[in-house]
Amino acid sequence: MYDHRLQLHASGYVDVDSRAIPNGTILPPDCGRGAMDFTSPRMLREVMCPRPGIEGVPVEASLPNGIDHCYVVDESSSELTPPGHGGALDALVEHLGPRLGARLEIPGSRSMEVYTSYPGIQVYTGNFLDIEAGRDGKHFSRHGAVCLETQHFPDAPNQPSFPSTVLRPGEVYEHLTVHRFSQVSDRG
């Protein structure tokens, strides 16, 4: 996971308290420590250094415990182009207008782009994984995965400054998330 490159098309991220509970504030990606800013592609090892200050990563620019934050999808990021096959997917893409929220790639191998009509993407780096015997006896270790979870802002019902997640009788709820995979060449 440390060798993955992440870029988020985000205008900010949801600030949290010491218990990881949102406090209702949206901070710009470059606020405070540069570790939270993924508006340009960055290798995860640059910010997820297990020993900041020792391995060339400044302490103030590192997240040694991992990432578990909701980023605000930038409303000006590019929209997904309908596939052009006709039918239900084209209609959904036209109607909901999912925007590019994230791109995760293994340099020289493959990439995944995440388009969504949700306002947020939770980035989680397996901070609490340590399962000795998972499915088929596989071991899942801490920071052994990156999750990009499209969603509303966490704790939205308790945060008046966040968009509402209340669905009233008679209202219709729709959203669309599309994962696009491709092969990539090493861009350095």
Is residue 7 within 8 A of residue 39, CB to CB? The reply is yes
Confidence check: pLDDT of 11 > 60:
yes
Torsion of CA 151, 143, 108, 138, to 10 degrees: -100
Is residue 71 within 8 A of residue 29, CB to CB? The reply is yes
Measured in Å, how far apart are the chain's first and last C-alpha atoms?
A: 17
Q: Which helix (H) or strand (E) holds 92?
A: helix 87-96
What confidence tens digit (pLDDT) does each residue in 20-60 have?
899 999 999 887 557 889 999 999 988 876 555 555 555 55
Within a domain: residue 138?
Answer: yes
pLDDT of 49: 65
Q: What CATH code is carried by the domain that includes residue 108? A: 2.70.98.10
Within a domain: residue 32?
Answer: yes
Cα–Cα dist 153/164, whole Å: 9
Number of domains in the chain: 1
Within a domain: residue 188?
Answer: no
Residues spanned by the domain of 73:
5-183
